[in-house]
């Protein structure tokens, strides 16, 4: 497989001085590797791609499995200092979906969907950038949190390209090849890299505001019945100003910030 690492480097470097691209044949997890590096005070902006992951991770402690060649798996690591971290995963989803195809939807807070099926996911983690002793304080950011502003941020993205094995999954997954026949990981990455960096820089400057309408235009849950982890049920009404999922329940509108939300089966 030919990776367009140099072309990506040339396109991204003017936006991010010191930026490097690395493509490795195998890693446990691109997120884990960049978090280890952050703890070792390696804080330069980097795009790290793995052709195979032996311990890929998803949100909420889940695993992310992909057969080599069937998925694009990468993490973008960079120092970020937004005034408010709320809505970052939504902004990343907007950038990736817009870069790839108009038909891609976003399922709050971290998933890329196609026709009601999951095509990819986003896992964001951060580490403090202060003294090495502080840098172990990684947290799963989900929608926000974290008192101090400047952190090394690791944005991990996994995207199915070819039809994945779906054994054991209640809903079969989707893959980008359905929309873009013959797509390979390098070409998908090349489409996404610059828009992703631009989105991160816009988010750092202006927060979630520039992304709200764009997220809501692709919101896979809009108007659909959802069930929150505490049992509350209602109709999803899009993302609010800070990226919280608005849910219209019998008791009024609830803003969900980090709880797991599952779509109630029709
Ligand atoms: C999810 O769906 O819960 C998020 C999945 C994120 C998977 C990607 S693959 C590249 C990066 N490295 C990981 O270990 N996870 C992310």
Q: Which three-class secondary structure string do you get for 93-104?
A: HHHHHHHHCCCC
Cα–Cα distance, 118 to 234 (Å, whole number): 22
Q: Give, for ligand 1, the residue of 123, 138, 220 to mutate: max count of ligand atoms closer than 8 Å to Cβ.
A: 123
Give yes or no for residue 266 having a pLDDT over 70.
no
**Ligand 1 closest atom vs CA 29:** 14
Residue 120 CA to ligand 1 center (angstroms) comes to 8
Ligand 1 atom closest to the CA of 32, numbered from 1: 14
What is the rounded CA–CA span in Å between residue 226 and residue 249? 10
Q: Are the beta carbons of 215 and 110 closer than 8 angstroms?
A: no
pLDDT of residue 135: 42
How far is ligand 1, taken at its centre, from the CA of residue 122, in Å?
A: 6
Q: Ligand 1 center to residue 184 CA distance, Å? A: 18
**pLDDT higher for 86 or 168?**
86
Q: How sure is the predictor about 150, in pLDDT bands with cuts at 50, 70 and 90?
A: confident
Mean pLDDT value of segment 194-217: 98
**CB within 8 Å of 95: residues ≥ 6 apart:** 192, 195, 196, 198, 199, 200
What confidence tens digit (pLDDT) does each residue in 44-76 have? 999 999 999 999 999 888 899 888 889 999 999
Question: Residue 139's CB: how many other CB atoms inside 10 A?
Answer: 13
pLDDT confidence of 170, banded at 50, 70, 90?
Answer: confident
Q: Atom 11 of ligand 1 has which residue's CA nearest to it? A: 156
Residues 193-218, mean pLDDT to the nearest whole number: 98
Given ligand 1 and candidates 33, 61, 67, 157, which is best to mutate, with the most ligand atoms within 8 Å of its CB? 157
Residue 177 Cα, ligand 1 centroid: separation in angstroms? 19
Across the chain, what does the average pLDDT equal? 90
Tens digits of residue pLDDT in 88-134 = 999 999 999 999 999 999 999 999 999 999 999 999 999 988 644 34
- pLDDT of 232 reads 84
* DSSP label of 147: S
Higher pLDDT, 188 or 146: 188
Structure tokens of 130?
């202060």
Tell me the whole-structure pTM to 2 decimals.
0.92
Give the binding-site residues of ligand 1, using a 6 Å CB cut-off: 29-31, 53, 56-59, 62, 64, 73-75, 110-111, 121-123, 156-158
Measure the CA–CA gap between 75 and 61, rounded to whole angstroms. 17
In the chain, count of helices (H) and strands (E)? 5, 13
């Amino acid at each position: 497989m030919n990776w367009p690492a140099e072309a990506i480097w040339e396109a991204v470097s003017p936006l991010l001085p010191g930026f490097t691209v690395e493509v490795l044949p195998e890693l446990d997890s691109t997120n884990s590797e960049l978090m280890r590096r952050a703890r070792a005070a390696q804080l330069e902006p980097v795009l790290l791609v793995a052709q195979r992951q032996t311990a890929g991770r998803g949100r909420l402690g889940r695993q992310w499995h992909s057969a080599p060649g069937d998925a694009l798996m990468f993490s973008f690591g960079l120092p970020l200092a937004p005034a408010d971290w709320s809505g970052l995963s939504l902004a990343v989803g907007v950038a990736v979906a817009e870069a790839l195809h108009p038909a891609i939807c976003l399922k709050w807070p971290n998933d890329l969907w196609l026709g009601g099926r999951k095509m990819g996911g986003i896992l964001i983690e951060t580490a403090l950038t202060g003294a090495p002793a502080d840098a172990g304080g990684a947290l799963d950011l989900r929608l926000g949190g974290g008192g101090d502003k400047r952190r090394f941020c690791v944005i991990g993205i996994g995207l199915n390209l070819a039809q994945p094995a779906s054994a054991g999954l209640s809903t079969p997954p989707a893959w980008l090849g359905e929309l873009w026949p013959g797509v390979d990981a390098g070409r998908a990455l090349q489409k996404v890299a610059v828009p992703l960096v631009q989105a991160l820089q816009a988010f750092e400057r202006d927060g979630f505001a520039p992304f709200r309408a764009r997220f809501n235009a692709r919101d896979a849950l809009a108007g659909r019945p959802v069930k929150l982890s505490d049992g509350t049920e209602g109709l999803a009404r899009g993302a609010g100003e800070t990226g919280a999922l608005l849910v219209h329940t019998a008791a009024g509108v609830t803003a969900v910030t980090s709880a797991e939300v599952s779509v109630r089966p029709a």
